[in-house]
């Protein structure tokens, strides 16, 4: 199984691609069950924040099945590009884009967050939902986001986190170590994938630690918005 706290070499990056390919069909269902559908509210919050920036070009990194990209596609005159390493996740997203009649405003393509094909200072807005903890090299991926974001552009990240309150953290740990594996066994054939996602969430440098990483890359005015007792967090930063 992939170790979440070690850097991934190219072969392990391929393993992550295969991992997400393997859970692409049930991903939306299991994600909804595991978060009690709260992830939809958090992604709507991202849309609310994004509207305030009035973006014309938006990039959704680690777009997966494209929930955030589809939400951003509802912003008037905004062209959204979603990139992800997993082609099978993107295929699920493409079906949703067609269903929502957004083929003219949302484009999905295979891409590596740490080697983006776009020019410097290209996007007004970048969003990343539950993806940064899977970067092979966290700072390299964030540096790429910084590079392609326009000056005064906005970065919005939604990521799992560990509650700071010791009592809540105890129940959070109990929940994640019992309920989530049970749901994975019931609805997925790839338990290794969900074990990896669970473990990677626990070791991710969340909260103030992640704020400091964003600042070290060059982002400023970093705001932290904990969600669901601190089990997930929205970060808003500027270039």
- pLDDT per position as a tens digit, 106-122: 999 999 999 999 999 99
Residue 199 lies in a domain: yes
The answer to whether position 3 is within a domain reads no
Q: Is residue 212 part of a domain?
A: yes
Assign residue 65 the CATH number of its domain: 3.40.50.150
**Domains held by the chain: number:** 1
75 is a domain residue: yes
Residue 31: domain span: 10-238
Q: For residue 4, is it within any domain?
A: no
> Is 1 a member of any domain?
no
Helix or strand (DSSP H, E) at 82 = strand 79-84
Contact 70, 50 (CB under 8 A): no
Is the residue at 163 inside a domain?
yes
203-226 confidence digits (pLDDT tens): 899 999 999 999 999 999 999 999
Q: Which residues contact 145 (CB under 8 A, 6 or more apart)?
A: 61, 113, 116, 126, 128, 155
What is the C-alpha separation between 102 and 129, in angstroms, rounded? Answer: 20
6 pLDDT more than 70: no
Residue 5 lies in a domain: no
CA separation for the pair 13, 198 (Å, rounded): 18
Query: Going by C-beta distance under 8 Å and a sequence separation of 6 or more, which residues neighbour residue 52?
Result: none
Return the pLDDT at 12: 60
Q: What is the pTM of this model?
A: 0.91
Give the model confidence (pLDDT) of 46-68 as tens digits.
999 999 999 999 999 999 999 99
Query: For 97-106, what is the mean pLDDT?
Result: 98
Query: When comparing pLDDT for 17 and 110, which is higher?
Result: 110
């Amino acid at each position: 199984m992939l170790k979440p706290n070690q850097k991934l070499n190219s072969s392990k990056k391929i393993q992550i691609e295969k991992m997400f390919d393997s859970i692409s069909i049930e991903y939306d269902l299991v994600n909804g069950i595991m978060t009690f559908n709260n992830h939809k509210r958090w992604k709507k919050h991202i849309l609310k924040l994004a509207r305030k920036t009035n973006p014309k070009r938006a990039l959704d990194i680690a777009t997966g099945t494209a929930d955030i990209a589809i939400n951003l596609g509802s912003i008037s005159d905004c062209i959204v590009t979603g990139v992800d390493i997993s082609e099978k996740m993107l295929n699920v997203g493409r079906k949703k884009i067609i269903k929502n009649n957004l083929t003219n405003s949302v484009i999905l393509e295979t891409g590596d967050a740490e080697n983006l094909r776009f020019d410097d200072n290209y996007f007004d807005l970048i969003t990343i939902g539950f993806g940064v903890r899977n970067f092979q090299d966290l700072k390299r991926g964030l540096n790429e986001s910084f590079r392609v974001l326009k000056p005064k552009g906005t970065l919005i990240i939604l990521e799992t986190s560990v509650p700071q309150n010791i009592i809540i953290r105890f129940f959070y740990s109990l929940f994640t170590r019992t309920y989530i594996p049970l749901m994975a066994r019931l609805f997925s054939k790839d338990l290794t994938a969900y074990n990896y996602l669970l473990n990677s969430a626990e070791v991710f440098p969340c909260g103030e630690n992640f704020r400091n990483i964003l600042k070290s890359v060059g982002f400023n005015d970093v705001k932290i918005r904990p969600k669901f007792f601190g089990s997930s967090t929205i970060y808003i930063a500027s270039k």
